[in-house]
Structure 1
Amino acid sequence: MYPSAPPDAYNKFSAGAPPTAPPPATYQLPTMNTPRTGGGLTRWSTGLFHCMDDPGNCLITCVCPCITFGQVADIVDKGTCPCLASGTVYALICASTAMGCLYSCFYRSKMRAQFDLEEGDCPDFLVHFCCEYCALCQEYRELKNRGFDLGIGWAANADRQRRGVTGASVMGAPGIPVGMMR
């Protein structure tokens, strides 16, 4: 009567098995000791306006963006300028000129170069000028999705990699089974 459609022709959220969760992320620092390989540019792991993918970071960035900037800058600078110093410089620039975006856009460019990320439709300075908090949140999420624990800084991340530690879990907190997530 009706021709049968291939299984992938149906909407994946209709009847049938629920969508599968992605495999758990492993803790790898891809550009720490390994050279970048040639090839095309990669996409950001999350969009610019996906701030609520990490509501905790979104709140911290809205209240005190110098914290998020300091954490991102510490990882991007590979520990040469600590989180506190970068965050303080950013806060002073914001307090004196209200143009911290001019400072933070350089770190976005530096991060894109390190991870071969595409620039997108707007240049980095324009992204930071128009959407400073969203840009900081996106950079934070990108580093987090690449296996960095931004709360411990570059030195501790490098030490974890040297020791071969996989996964960045909170001490004492049980893992959440994939089947229990909504």
Structure 2
Amino acid sequence: MANTEESSPLLGNPPSLQEEDDKKTSIESPLPVPSQKQLAPPPPAASIGYPADGLPLGYDGVITEPIRRNQWNSSLFNCLGRNDEFCSSDLEVCLLGAVAPCVLYGSNVERLNSTPGTFTNHCMPYSVLYVLGTAIFGGNLLARWFSYPSRTAIRRKFNLEGNFESVVSSCGCCGSVVEDDVQREQWEMACDFATHVFCHACALCQEGREVRRRVPHPGLNLKPILVMIPPCEQFMSGREKV
């Protein structure tokens, strides 16, 4: 009698042993894990830059709000300062600018950098150049070349409006130079240099008033001090001291 399972056409051909082994290996084998070489490197972190006009560069194609320039707290020729809580400090700055500009310059840089030894490292070279300039040229002509970078550093740190930008915004000229951030910053540095050369004492005083209003002296200890006050003497109803 013939086997009905083998002769039936509806059952189809039985699977062979090799096919069953292939199925088992395919089920048991884990999924392929991509190697480190195949993994795509993470995208580099985007950075935001600030050109000379105070406007931030695009961050991944997103345009942010423009950052406007800050104004100086006092003008260049306002040597006596303003009538506010810093009035006495402004008078001190004016006196130092007229009598001891080396001390004022060292104090400005010390407040700006807030690192130990900054005052000595800037006051001493200024004093040497002051003496040499006075002996050779009859005036303080050499120290002005040394001190003008402090004005550029103050303007950049506090995002202050420079002299060139102020002139351009008032008259509306030099449009091609204004559009180029690098050229604008070069013109601002040239204006900082010219301000120190032609109005050196006034420039130092203006910078001194600015940093004293914005940065506390690094020698001050601003940590809160806890003062313990002993309790007062207490008396009971019988007038006995406790």
In the other structure, the counterpart of 1:171 is none
Larger relative contact order, structure 1 or 2 (CA cutoff 8 Å, min sep 6): 1
- 1:120 and 2:163 correspond: yes
In the other structure, the counterpart of 2:149 is 106
Give the counterpart letter for 1:49 in structure 2. Answer: F
Q: Distance in 1 between the 2:148 and 2:202 partners?
A: 12
**Consecutive unaligned residues in structure 2, runs of 5 or more:** 1-49, 57-66, 82-89, 134-140, 165-187, 226-242
Query: Which contiguous aligned blocks of 4+ residues in structure 1 show a shift greater than 4 angstroms?
Result: none
Give the counterpart letter for 1:57 in structure 2. Answer: V
Q: TM-score, normalised by structure 2?
A: 0.46
Determine which of 19, 41, 44 is the counterpart of 2:72. Answer: 44
Q: Please show how residues 22-171 of structure 1 align to structure 2 within 5 Å.
A: 39-53=67-81, 54-79=90-115, 81-97=117-133, 98-121=141-164, 123-149=191-217, 154=218, 156-157=219-220, 159-160=221-222, 163=223
1:64-122 Cα distance to aligned partner (Å, 9 max, x none): 10010000011222315421221111111222233211111101101111111111247
Contact 2:70–2:159, Cα closer than 8 Å, also in 1? yes
**C-alpha root-mean-square deviation of aligned residues, in Å?**
2.4
Tell me the number of residue pairs that the alignment of Structure 1 and Structure 2 aligns.
122
Q: Distance in 1 between the 2:198 and 2:117 partners?
A: 26
Q: TM-score, normalised by structure 1?
A: 0.60
Q: Which of structures 1 and 2 has the bigger CA Rg? A: 2
